[in-house]
Amino acid sequence: MAKHILSVLVENRSGVLSRVAGLFSRRGFNIDSLAVGVTENPEVSRMTIVVDGDEYTVEQVSKQLNKLIDIIKIRALEDSDSVSRELALIKVNATSSTRSEIVQIVEIFRAKIVDVSKNTLTVEISGSGDKVRALEDMLRQFGIKEIVRTGTIAIERGNKYIKAGSTEEM
């Protein structure tokens, strides 16, 4: 099954997330990830939804989401024409003998150490899902204690943008 990224502008109101999530469950669609945050307009939030499924599924997800009154706009983002990122915090076991090796790996991935304790390091990484997974694989040998991931956020490249008002693209 292919993964598709939907960029969805919604009214910034309570209950909207529940409506969106509820729609996915009751219609049997699979959400791979869902990330929500407010936009440059405080009345509008943007959800980036990664959907697992074929073309029919993506079309139905978009159409059914569009029926929700709180949904303002939906756009399916093409991989080639958009930039997507995921943020993860990984807490990994670190001893005096493994600490420097971990730091080296983190540097190779252009990640950051954001917290240090006697027995652990916490690594911050942002990038594609593949990159986050690759770092996770490398750190697993030391013993990962906890991972927190945001889910994908994505934006279109260049002059294109999605906006709640009437003018939406340049």
Partner 1 sequence: MKITGAQGLVKALELENVTTIFGYPGAAICPFYDALLDSDIKHILTRNEQGAAHAASGYSRVTGKTGVCVATSGPGATNLITGIATAYSDSIPMVAITGQVSLDLIGRDVFQEVDITGATEPFCKHNYLVKNVKDLPRIVKEAFHIASTGRPGPVLIDVPVDIQTDTLDFIYPDEVDIKGYKPNYKGHPQQIKKIAEAVASSQRPVICAGGGVISAKASEIMTRLAEKYQIPVVTTLMGIGAIPADHPLNMGMLGSHGVYAANYAVHNTDLLIIVGARVGDRALGTAGKIAEKAGIIHIDIDPAEIGKNVSTTIPVVGDAGLILEDLYKSIQNCNTSQWLESLQQAVKKNKVKLKEQSSYVNPKKLLAELSKRLYDNAIVVTEVGQNQIWAANNFIARKPGSFITSGGLGTMGYGLPAGIGAKIGRPESTVVVIGGDGSFQMSMPEMGTIKQNRLGVKILILNNNRLGMVREIQKNKYKKRYSQVFLDDNPDFVKIAEAYGFKSEKISCNSQIDSALERFLADDNAYLLECSIDPEEETV
- Taking the least distance from each CB to partner 1, the nearer of 68 and 103 is 68
Asked if 163 touches partner 1 (CB under 8 A), the answer is no
- Residue listed under structure tokens 């770092």: 135
- Taking the least distance from each CB to partner 1, the nearer of 133 and 163 is 163
3-state secondary structure of 156: strand
Among 18, 96, 97, 167, binds partner 1 (CB under 8 A): 18
Contacts 24+ apart (CB under 8 A), 56-64: 57/29, 58/4, 58/6, 60/27, 60/29, 61/6, 61/24, 61/27, 61/29, 62/6, 64/23, 64/27
Among 1, 22, 54, 145, binds partner 1 (CB under 8 A): 22
Asked if 60 touches partner 1 (CB under 8 A), the answer is yes
Asked if 96 touches partner 1 (CB under 8 A), the answer is no
3-state secondary structure of 64: helix
Residue-wise DSSP of 73-139? EEEEEPGGGEEEEEEEEEEEE--TTTHHHHHHHHHHTT-EEEEE-SSEEEEEEEE-HHHHHHHHHHH
Asked if 15 touches partner 1 (CB under 8 A), the answer is yes
CA distance 112 to 145: 17
Asked if 70 touches partner 1 (CB under 8 A), the answer is yes
Asked if 78 touches partner 1 (CB under 8 A), the answer is no
Among 10, 47, 88, 123, binds partner 1 (CB under 8 A): 10
Which of the stretches 13-21, 30-38, 78-86, 134-142 binds partner 1 when contact is defined by CB under 8 A?
13-21
Among 64, 84, 93, 150, binds partner 1 (CB under 8 A): 64
Asked if 17 touches partner 1 (CB under 8 A), the answer is no
The least CB distance from residue 88 to partner 1, in Å, is 32
> Do the Cβ atoms of 20 and 10 come closer than 8 Å?
yes
Asked if 164 touches partner 1 (CB under 8 A), the answer is yes
